[in-house]
Amino acid sequence: MCGIVGAIAQRNVTGILLEGLKRLEYRGYDSAGIAVLDRASGAIACTRRSGKVAELENALAAEPLDGTIGIAHTRWATHGKPEERNAHPHVASSRIAVVHNGIIENFEQLKADLQAKGHQFASDTDTEVIAHLVYDQLQQGVAFPAAVKATIAQLHGAYALAIMDREQPGLLMAARMGSPLVLGVGIGEHFIASDPLALLQVTDQFIYLDEGDLAEVTLDGVVVRDRAGETASHPVQRFEHGQDAADKGEYRHYMLKEIYEQPAVVEAVLEGRLGSDKVYEEAFGAEARAVFDRVKAVQIIACGTSYHAGLIAKYWIEELVGIPCQVEVASEYRYRKTVALPDSLFVTISQSGETADTLAALREAKESGFLACLTICNVPGSSLVRESDLALMTNAGPEIGVASTKAFTSQLVALLLTTLVLGRRHGLDPAVESELVGCLRGLPALFTQVLALDEPIKALSEQFADKNHSLFLGRGAMYPVAMEGALKLKEISYIHAEAYPAGELKHGPLALVDKEMPVIVVAPNNSLLEKLKANMQEVSARGGELFVFADKDAGMVAEEGLQLLPVPESHTLLDPLVYTLPLQLLSYHVAVLKGTDVDQPRNLAKSVTVE
């Protein structure tokens, strides 16, 4: 998704802006650009390129920019093709330069009005109207900050904005509504970004803007006003993640690095949240106890991988807590008439905390009679965290690979903690809680054992690289694990992958099975194992090739048409976590063999902040 960086300093800011764009690359984009006020002439100097930030970097190496104030952007096309002329910054009458994340819903009407007044447009974007609206105000004698304020009052939709005026070389304006934006605080220099990660090379001090905020950013400081125009005093917060989070280190790809970080991530999710035999409910916030005391049902909402985490949690909640749990994708939920069960807890799950559909569903839910809203989220200060009553941070650290790995397992751990806290109120045997707390403590070591399967999985992956289709099977809570495995394979290797609850095979998908379609099965030694084995027979009988990830005690043997990969044994309830890692590794190695862009798969973006 789009990324914004802005800077005002006493030095040339081009390098800072470029580095910021590189750090935002993981979000997905199709073009990039930078505008500065040229130090020599005072004019706006703007360089834009379609494609990778490296293209922009090459252009800047050939023709460097030099300015102490500037804005920059990586674009993910929404209005207009991914071409240079649609790349940001957009400049009106050589005076106003704008970068924008989000969508302006009424841009066509605004554009028509501006064109009627004689404004000439150079792009197909919604963003360009913003530059012209500000310029239009300036022409009417309005000062720059007031011109921005009057402009955003006309915008319907979502935006994060950084705006520069050629005639105000000491001032950047920033505005936020529906799309995240932070201000970075330095010594005698200040910054703007859509994600703090973009600025970690220059500061770790951030001010998180609220919806409706408008900020004046100068060398000496920032002034933030809320939507009522009152001065807002947001605290300066220290960014907590390590500075090296955006560094691949010894790994070839961020995805592999993040797969390998999972033992440490589990420790981070558990840190400070476990007593000797129980989960501390205080971890969920001051009001948690009063809320949890009343919960009689759970509604989970999320998208993509986070949705799969929710599906697994449903099995846990209904089994251990014994209350109804419904799970739905946010993009469906937000647009239908829904009924909240009495005393129902609304739970959102999100890595980024900014997913537009999930956020919209939360906003709907707040009007729909839920008891309270809890978010399971990885980004402190994100919109979901700020707008929910309760939040449990997953502490996975920034996830750069577009395909979610460590964020998913951290969500699962957080959801298991939530299940245990709720279970306690619904008669869950304290011995069971204590046993699971012990298992959670052992999970980092178990994950390390599972990661040792990397080499055999790599060898296995060679049999997938020439395939076009695949089927993933699981039963019970392992069905959503199969769904997540299929999603990982399709998004990074572009192999068509479908997941089915294995019992459904005979109701249709069996017709697809032949030698060319690998069938991947997740088969822990649980109460459904015998049923699953019968389903595997259905595949074998039709000449299908089975690739089975199974417990060594599952009593399976490798044979013609059945390849076996033994997975370390764990508590049944932890199997979804343990079996996820081999499937992540399988997708990764298949993608590497196929030579795809593992960290930035085609057509995808990391943080989906538009609908």
246 binds ligand F6R (CB under 6 A): no
Q: Which stretch binds ligand F6R (CB under 6 A): 25-33, 35-43, 303-311, 581-589?
A: 303-311
CA distances from 322 to 242, 319, 336, 349, 427 (A): 39, 6, 27, 21, 9
Q: How far is the CB of 211 from ligand F6R (least distance, A)?
A: 18
**Alpha carbons 594 and 495: distance in angstroms, whole number:** 10
User: Is 606 among the residues known to form the active site?
Assistant: yes
Q: Which stretch binds ligand F6R (CB under 6 A): 345-353, 386-394, 439-447, 513-521?
A: 345-353
What is the DSSP secondary structure assignment for residue 532, as one 8-state letter?
H
Total residues contacting ligand F6R (rule CB under 6 A)? 15
**Alpha carbons 257 and 414: distance in angstroms, whole number:** 21
Give residue 218's Cα distance to chain centre: 31
101 binds ligand F6R (CB under 6 A): no
608 binds ligand F6R (CB under 6 A): yes
Q: Which stretch binds ligand F6R (CB under 6 A): 69-77, 176-184, 348-356, 428-436?
A: 348-356
Please count the other Cβ atoms lying within 10 Å of the Cβ belonging to residue 409. Answer: 29
Q: How far is the CB of 452 from ligand F6R (least distance, A)?
A: 24
587 binds ligand F6R (CB under 6 A): no
403 binds ligand F6R (CB under 6 A): yes
**Alpha carbons 515 and 561: distance in angstroms, whole number:** 9
Which residue lies nearer to ligand F6R by CB, 190 or 606? 606
338 binds ligand F6R (CB under 6 A): no
User: By the 8 A CB rule, do 345 and 370 touch?
Assistant: yes
Q: Which residues 6+ apart lie within 8 Å of 56 measured at CB?
A: 18, 21, 32, 33, 34, 47, 48, 49
Q: How far is the CB of 355 from ligand F6R (least distance, A)?
A: 3
User: By the 8 A CB rule, do 191 and 6 touch?
Assistant: yes
Which residue lies nearer to ligand F6R by CB, 227 or 366? 366
Which residue lies nearer to ligand F6R by CB, 419 or 607? 607
Q: How far is the CB of 408 from ligand F6R (least distance, A)?
A: 7
Give residue 324's Cα distance to chain centre: 27
Q: How far is the CB of 361 from ligand F6R (least distance, A)?
A: 11
Please count the other Cβ atoms lying within 10 Å of the Cβ belonging to residue 502. Answer: 30
Which residue lies nearer to ligand F6R by CB, 190 or 406? 406
Q: How far is the CB of 317 from ligand F6R (least distance, A)?
A: 19
Please count the other Cβ atoms lying within 10 Å of the Cβ belonging to residue 549. Answer: 29
* Active-site residue (options: 22, 149, 257, 606): 606
395 binds ligand F6R (CB under 6 A): no
**Alpha carbons 79 and 416: distance in angstroms, whole number:** 41
3 binds ligand F6R (CB under 6 A): no
CA distances from 122 to 85, 86, 92, 127, 242 (A): 7, 8, 9, 11, 41
Hunting for tokens 């902040």 — which residue is that?
A: 609
358 binds ligand F6R (CB under 6 A): yes
Q: How far is the CB of 351 from ligand F6R (least distance, A)?
A: 3
**Alpha carbons 310 and 366: distance in angstroms, whole number:** 19
Which residue lies nearer to ligand F6R by CB, 362 or 554? 362
Looking at 404, 461, 493, 600, which residue binds ligand F6R (CB under 6 A)? 404
Q: How far is the CB of 481 from ligand F6R (least distance, A)?
A: 14
352 binds ligand F6R (CB under 6 A): yes
User: Is 2 among the residues known to form the active site?
Assistant: yes
Q: 117-156 mask for ligand F6R (x: CB under 6 A)?
A: ----------------------------------------
Which residue lies nearer to ligand F6R by CB, 197 or 403? 403
**Alpha carbons 259 and 453: distance in angstroms, whole number:** 12
Instruction: Report the DSSP beta bridge partners of residue 328.
Output: 301
Instruction: Check the CA dihedral 118-122-128-134 and report its sign.
Output: negative
Which residue lies nearer to ligand F6R by CB, 355 or 419? 355
304 binds ligand F6R (CB under 6 A): yes
Structure tokens at 91: 């400049």
Q: Which stretch binds ligand F6R (CB under 6 A): 22-30, 133-141, 347-355, 560-568?
A: 347-355
**Alpha carbons 140 and 154: distance in angstroms, whole number:** 16
Beta-strand pair 496-501/469-474 = parallel
Q: How far is the CB of 600 from ligand F6R (least distance, A)?
A: 12
CA distances from 12 to 67, 172, 420 (A): 5, 15, 53
351 binds ligand F6R (CB under 6 A): yes
CA neighbor of 608 nearest in space, from 327, 361, 382, 303: 303
Q: Rounded to 5 degrees, what are φ and ψ at 77?
A: -55, 130
491 binds ligand F6R (CB under 6 A): yes
382 binds ligand F6R (CB under 6 A): no
Looking at 355, 375, 493, 580, which residue binds ligand F6R (CB under 6 A)? 355
CA neighbor of 166 nearest in space, from 102, 234, 98: 98
At what angle are helices 575-594 and 406-425 packed, to 10 degrees? 170
Q: How far is the CB of 89 from ligand F6R (least distance, A)?
A: 26
User: By the 8 A CB rule, do 195 and 72 touch?
Assistant: no
Please count the other Cβ atoms lying within 10 Å of the Cβ belonging to residue 506. Answer: 11
Which residue lies nearer to ligand F6R by CB, 357 or 545? 357
Could you say which residues in the range 422-481 bind ligand F6R, by CB under 6 A?
none
**Applying CB under 6 A, which residues contact ligand F6R?**
303-306, 350-352, 355, 358, 403-404, 487, 491, 607-608
What positions carry a catalytic annotation? 2, 606
